[in-house]
Amino acid sequence: MAIRRATAADAEAIAAIHVAAYDETYRGIAPPEVFEGLNLERRTAQWRRFFAEPQPDAAAFVIDQDGEPVGFGSNGIDRRGPSPIGWIKAVYLLKRFQGRGLGLAMMATLADDLAAKGVREVRLDVAVGNDPAEAFYRRLGAGFLSAQVDPGPIWKSPTRTYGWTDAAVLAAAAGRADRHG
């Protein structure tokens, strides 16, 4: 297993993982029309834009297993307040590769990246109904911060925001959990 910073050459692979893992996770939670709208074509365009119009505070990483991309994660920073807040925007891993510590390694990578950029506070949103993800983040010490409705673009999903007060502590927790199961 290797985690590496994603490049424009990864856009199509990330899009394919995004579509497949989203389907595996949200089928039965999200309305059926969501899957028509968040298709491979749309996700590929989204990821091509991400790399074509890079933001200095955004990063994406790919998990390779035996040379095959099997997951990805992305983060960004909101600098509008008095101190920057890091956001973990996405953590997607194909179901057949879950339970091997790859998600923990990705969380450590994303948190390390944010900490290296001077961020302490980290947040992420989870769609209501994605109980395994909520449990995963709580095991890593996330605290519940708020509940709201994500405006879309296609699904106005009820979400919960979780957070950590220190990116370095999150990175260490994910690293410890990865080493100790």
d(CA 82, CA 78): 10
User: Percent of the chain at pLDDT above 90?
Assistant: 79
Tokens of 113: 């990246």
Q: In the prediction, which pLDDT does 181 show?
A: 45
Q: What are the domain boundaries of the chain?
A: 2-180
Q: In the prediction, which pLDDT does 179 show?
A: 47
Say which residue, 123 or 37, is predicted with more confidence: 123
Mean pLDDT over all residues of the chain? 92
Q: What is the CA radius of gyration of the chain?
A: 15
pLDDT band at 152 (very low <50, low <70, confident <90, very high): confident
- Positive or negative, the Cα torsion across 96, 101, 102, 103? positive
Strand partners, 73: 61, 91
Per-residue pLDDT for 131 more than 70?
A: yes
| DSSP one-letter string for the chain | -EEEE--GGGHHHHHHHHHHHHHHHHBTTB-HHHHHHS-HHHHHHHHHHHHHS--TT-EEEEEEETTEEEEEEEEEEE-SSSS-EEEEEEEEE-GGGTTSSHHHHHHHHHHHHHHHTT--EEEEEEETT-HHHHHHHHHTT-EEEEEEE---SS---EEEEEEES-HHHHHHHHHHHHHH-
Per-residue pLDDT for 176 more than 80?
A: no
CATH class, domain 2-180, is: alpha beta
- Expressed in angstroms, the distance from the first to the final Cα of the chain is 16
Q: In the prediction, which pLDDT does 180 show?
A: 42
- The mean pLDDT value for 106-125 works out to 96
Asked which of 81-85, 90-94, 114-118, 171-175 is least confident by mean pLDDT, the reply is 171-175
Write out pLDDT tens, residues 49-99.
999 998 989 999 999 999 899 999 999 999 998 999 999 999 999 999 998
